[in-house]
A = this chain, B = another copy of it.
Amino acid sequence: MAQVLADRRDIDFVLYEQLDMEQLTKTPVYKGMNRKLFDMMITEARNLAIKEILPTNADGDKIGVTFDNGEVLVPESFKKAFDLIREGDWTAMNEDPDLGGQGTPYLINFPTREYLWGGNYCLVNYATMGHGTGKMIEAFGSQKQKDLFLEKLYTAQWGGTMLLTEPEAGSDVGALTTTAVKNEDGTYSISGAKIFITNGEHQLTENIVHPVLARVEGAPEGTKGISIFIVPKYWVNEDGSMGDFNDVVCTGVEEKMGIHGSATCSLTLGGAGKCRGLLLGQECEGMKIMFHMMNDARLNVGFQAFTYASSAYLYACNYAKERIQGKDLTAGKNSPSVTIINHPDIRRMLTWMKAHVDGMRSFIYYTASLFDWMKAEPDSDQAQNRQDLIDFFIPLVKGYSAQRSFDVCVNAMQVYGGYGYTKEYPIEQLLRDCKITSIYEGTDGIQAMDLLGRKLQMRGGALFQAFANEVNSCITAALEVPELSAMADRLANALACLGETAQSLSKNLATPLIKTSFASAFPFMEATGDVIMAWMLLWRSNIAVKAQEKAKSKDKAYYSGVIKTAEFFIYNVLPVALGKMDAMNEGNGAAIEIPDDCFGG
């Protein structure tokens, strides 16, 4: 059967040839692990995904979740697959075995989740989302809280969520109105209404643990007065047993364009005056604690987007290799019809998709590997550099990947033509599902503002410099390779232009032109992402040039493809990014100056 979720050859390339993952197993933290183990895990994830998870994906879309008097029901077929995911320990592999994990590198979550999430993100996320909830408790909870919640969240015995958004507080978290009043026993009475809560209610787990952002009575306005509480659906007694229903009532689920299998809930807390929460950390530390999980959450959403792209790309490849339509442009009039992969416009789309899918896989895996090296070598002199890279990359992993993954789905539909628009083929669901990733966990516009307004400005520009240093190492290596040196020159030029653009936008942030700069935040994020893609593809080519010499025939095509993909991107896409930088460097303020009244409506 053709691959439809992830390209295993490319996964192996990124893990072992590009990132040299086995080096991790030489550090004390990951000692005793090896490639054989990782390979086995990836293969098992693939088998589970293909046999048990992917077959539920259409149910998720067509049946979706149903809401009935406070209860949310998922499609029947979800249940068996959910249990298999739990039983297979796929929910928090990188955590300590004591807490229900397997102690593997964080990086291994990614190839396995390419398959698992790729099979049915909505379903698998019921099992994996509690991991993020647990991470906050692990970092900021009391020992008692850890004992009560951690293992159950990491093993998906209980589900986890994040209650942030309210009707009038979306991107503007500080506007929230949910309140908390301290009780005599140290708990807090919570009262408020939250919306857009992913997995806010369902029957797959016996309990659901909600981290809730709320304001303690008398706390300051805005974000600085926000605290965070652990609010379980059923109260958890001191001995870990489950107590009474905790007055967290689901009042409805959203009907959405996609991710119909995901329960997007409206929740009322304390409608009957009986909702209690446990303070996590200290009062008014809510934003700090939530931001602790934000890097991980945003990395995950960027990766979720990528899994749709990875799948859409493979479906399009398979279709283009099978669908016969039209003659070859260079063949005679009476020649037979050919598969559409022979048509230039189809090849342009496939190569464009491949460039972005391969580039994003390398980029996201690379970012994930930095977390592992941070953990493996906490005292390394590389630690600050690694943290800088992570902080710089996160808004790009989320925002750029959400944007380009959607474009990959759109291109895949175009390869399919009319069939792609029908529900008979998987593309239109992938396209609809993928769109959410540009919106939730901070819209892509918010990511762009984070990149320009925070990350570029942190530590005197050190983050951009850390990034540029990495790119330059790659360029230096490629300059030594005759086949790659012209590409290396082009990337060096693009990096230099990007640096100038970063400076020109940054210098206006403390001036009245701040709004003009921020009107370029989004294209700046896009251009930075494009430079990163070029870097990843050139890095891959550095390896491929050497590897192809001794490769066998099938691998020769693979490595040649790696290099041609870099060539395509650097000659066809990077110039467009340069055009974008030219535009930003103009510093034109029309979008700010244009009168509000001229917008129709």
Q: Is A28 an interface residue (CB 8 A)?
A: no
In the complex, chain B residues whose CB is within 8 Å of the CB of A52: none
B341 contacts A596, C-beta separation under 8 Å: yes
Whether A568 contacts B597 in the complex (CB less than 8 A), given A428-B257, A519-B348, A578-B582, comes out as no
Q: Is A146 an interface residue (CB 8 A)?
A: no
A residues 242-269 touching B (CB-CB < 8 Å): 254-258
Q: Is A165 an interface residue (CB 8 A)?
A: yes
* Closest chain B residue, CB of each to CB of A259: B421
> Which of B255, B313, B417, B432 meets A170, CB within 8 Å?
B417
Q: Is A37 an interface residue (CB 8 A)?
A: no
CA distance A26 to B86 in the complex (A): 78
> Which of B515, B558, B572 meets A588, CB within 8 Å?
B572
B557 contacts A598, C-beta separation under 8 Å: yes
In the complex, chain B residues whose CB is within 8 Å of the CB of A423: 254-257
CA distance A350 to B168 in the complex (A): 22
Q: Is A288 an interface residue (CB 8 A)?
A: no
> How far does the Cβ of A198 sit from chain B's closest Cβ, in whole Å?
11
- Known contacts A343-B518, A345-B445, A523-B572; 17 additional CB pairs below 8 A are A3-B600, A170-B417, A171-B417, A172-B337, A256-B423, A317-B600, A321-B601, A329-B515, A329-B518, A341-B596, A347-B594, A348-B520, A413-B439, A418-B439, A560-B594, A565-B590, A577-B579
Whether A438 contacts B414 in the complex (CB less than 8 A), given A325-B171, A572-B583, A588-B571, comes out as yes
In the complex, chain B residues whose CB is within 8 Å of the CB of A595: 557, 560-561, 564
In the complex, chain B residues whose CB is within 8 Å of the CB of A3: 600-601
B590 contacts A318, C-beta separation under 8 Å: no
B351 contacts A594, C-beta separation under 8 Å: yes
* Closest chain B residue, CB of each to CB of A436: B421
CA distance A519 to B567 in the complex (A): 14
In the complex, chain B residues whose CB is within 8 Å of the CB of A347: 519, 591-592, 594
- Chain A window 335-366, contacts with chain B (Cβ cutoff 8 Å), 1 for yes, 0 for no: 00100010111111111101000000000000
CA distance A600 to B312 in the complex (A): 11
CA distance A171 to B419 in the complex (A): 12
CA distance A593 to B593 in the complex (A): 47
A440 contacts B414, C-beta separation under 8 Å: no
- Chain A window 546-574, contacts with chain B (Cβ cutoff 8 Å), 1 for yes, 0 for no: 00000000100110111011011001111
* Closest chain B residue, CB of each to CB of A8: B600
CA distance A270 to B260 in the complex (A): 41
Q: Is A7 an interface residue (CB 8 A)?
A: yes
* Closest chain B residue, CB of each to CB of A175: B337
Q: Is the interface of A mostly helix, strand, loop or mixed?
A: helix
- Chain A window 488-526, contacts with chain B (Cβ cutoff 8 Å), 1 for yes, 0 for no: 000000000000000000000000101111111111000
* Closest chain B residue, CB of each to CB of A518: B344
B337 contacts A601, C-beta separation under 8 Å: no
CA distance A252 to B420 in the complex (A): 17
A313 contacts B598, C-beta separation under 8 Å: no
> How far does the Cβ of A157 sit from chain B's closest Cβ, in whole Å?
29
CA distance A428 to B259 in the complex (A): 13
Whether A518 contacts B345 in the complex (CB less than 8 A), given A256-B421, A422-B255, A601-B318, comes out as yes
> How far does the Cβ of A220 sit from chain B's closest Cβ, in whole Å?
11
> Which of B175, B314, B574 meets A325, CB within 8 Å?
B175
In the complex, chain B residues whose CB is within 8 Å of the CB of A9: 600
B422 contacts A256, C-beta separation under 8 Å: yes
B443 contacts A421, C-beta separation under 8 Å: no
Q: Is A586 an interface residue (CB 8 A)?
A: yes
In the complex, chain B residues whose CB is within 8 Å of the CB of A392: none
CA distance A562 to B600 in the complex (A): 12
A568 contacts B583, C-beta separation under 8 Å: no
Q: Can you name 24 A-B pairs with beta carbons within 8 Å?
A: A172-B326, A172-B327, A254-B422, A255-B422, A257-B423, A257-B431, A317-B600, A344-B521, A345-B445, A345-B449, A346-B445, A354-B598, A418-B440, A421-B436, A557-B596, A557-B598, A560-B595, A562-B598, A564-B590, A565-B594, A567-B590, A568-B588, A575-B580, A578-B579
In the complex, chain B residues whose CB is within 8 Å of the CB of A565: 590, 594, 598
In the complex, chain B residues whose CB is within 8 Å of the CB of A17: none
Q: Is A435 an interface residue (CB 8 A)?
A: yes
In the complex, chain B residues whose CB is within 8 Å of the CB of A354: 598-600
CA distance A143 to B541 in the complex (A): 67
B599 contacts A170, C-beta separation under 8 Å: no
Whether A554 contacts B597 in the complex (CB less than 8 A), given A175-B325, A571-B588, A579-B579, comes out as yes
Q: Is A388 an interface residue (CB 8 A)?
A: no
> How far does the Cβ of A351 sit from chain B's closest Cβ, in whole Å?
4
B590 contacts A568, C-beta separation under 8 Å: yes
In the complex, chain B residues whose CB is within 8 Å of the CB of A413: 435, 439
A598 contacts B170, C-beta separation under 8 Å: no
In the complex, chain B residues whose CB is within 8 Å of the CB of A593: 564
Whether A600 contacts B255 in the complex (CB less than 8 A), given A337-B172, A564-B594, A583-B573, comes out as no
